[in-house]
């Protein structure tokens, strides 16, 4: 049995924080606001994995009202979600991620983000695709107020 899940996350930019995407620190004047490390890539992919297994969502498992998750490493949360779905008889076999941001430019960082996601999920090389797009100047992303991420994960039973 093959299952597919979709995840989405968005965060506002905030001063005084590091910008972390897919476990990688990205040089930028602003980071992302959030209770954890605000890694929107890891958050969207976590939700995609959980959704594919009908196992809830990141907010249910790691609520921002719980001090335990303050400044949490979102890649660790991703690994926890993958372990949870493994306990339900599924394994992640593939993922695809799109980061939507006007800045910073991410092309040079995409291979490292993909490799970090593959390593966290125990996947072989070229199992995770990562792309970056702009929002053509429209909306909160276009105004440089934040970024958004879409993710798809494929799980197989067994």
pLDDT digits (tens, 9 = 90+) for 32-41: 999 999 999 9
Confidence check: pLDDT of 67 > 80: no
Tens digits of residue pLDDT in 89-146: 999 999 999 999 999 999 999 999 999 999 999 999 999 999 999 999 999 999 999 9
What span, in angstroms and rounded, lies between the C-alpha atoms of 3 and 55?
Answer: 12
How many angstroms separate the Cα of 73 from the Cα of each of 32, 82, 85, 90? 13, 15, 19, 23
Give the pLDDT of residue 63: 84
Query: Could you tell me the pTM of the whole model?
Result: 0.96
Strands, DSSP E only, in the chain? 2-14, 19-21, 24-26, 31-32, 90-100, 128-133, 146-157
pLDDT average, residue stretch 3-17: 98
- Please report, rounded to a whole number, the percentage of residues in the chain having pLDDT higher than 90: 92
Q: Which are the contacts of 63, defined by CB distance < 8 A and separation ≥ 6?
A: 69
Which domains are assigned to the chain?
2-157 (3.30.1330.50)
Bridge partners, 21 (sequence order): 24
Burial class of 126 by CB neighbour count within 10 A (0 to 12, 13 to 18, 19+): exposed
Average pLDDT value over all residues in the chain: 96
Instruction: Give the residue from 92, 97, 94 showing the smallest Cα distance to 111.
Output: 97
User: How is residue 16 annotated by DSSP?
Assistant: T
């Amino acid at each position: 049995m093959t299952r597919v899940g979709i995840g989405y996350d968005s965060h506002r930019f905030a001063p005084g924080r590091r910008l972390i995407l897919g476990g990688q620190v990205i040089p930028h004047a602003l980071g992302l606001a959030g209770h954890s490390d605000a890694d929107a890539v890891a958050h969207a992919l976590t939700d995609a994995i959980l959704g594919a297994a009908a196992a809830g969502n990141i907010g249910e498992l790691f609520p921002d009202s719980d001090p335990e998750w303050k400044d949490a490493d979102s890649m660790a949360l991703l690994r926890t979600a993958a372990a949870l779905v493994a306990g339900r008889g599924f394994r992640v076999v593939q993922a695809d991620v799109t980061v939507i941001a006007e800045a910073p430019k991410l092309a040079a960082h995409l291979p490292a983000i993909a490799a970090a996601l593959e390593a966290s999920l125990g996947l072989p090389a070229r199992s995770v695709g990562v792309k970056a797009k702009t929002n053509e100047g429209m909306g909160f992303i276009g105004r440089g107020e934040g970024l958004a991420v879409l993710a798809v994960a494929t799980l197989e039973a067994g």
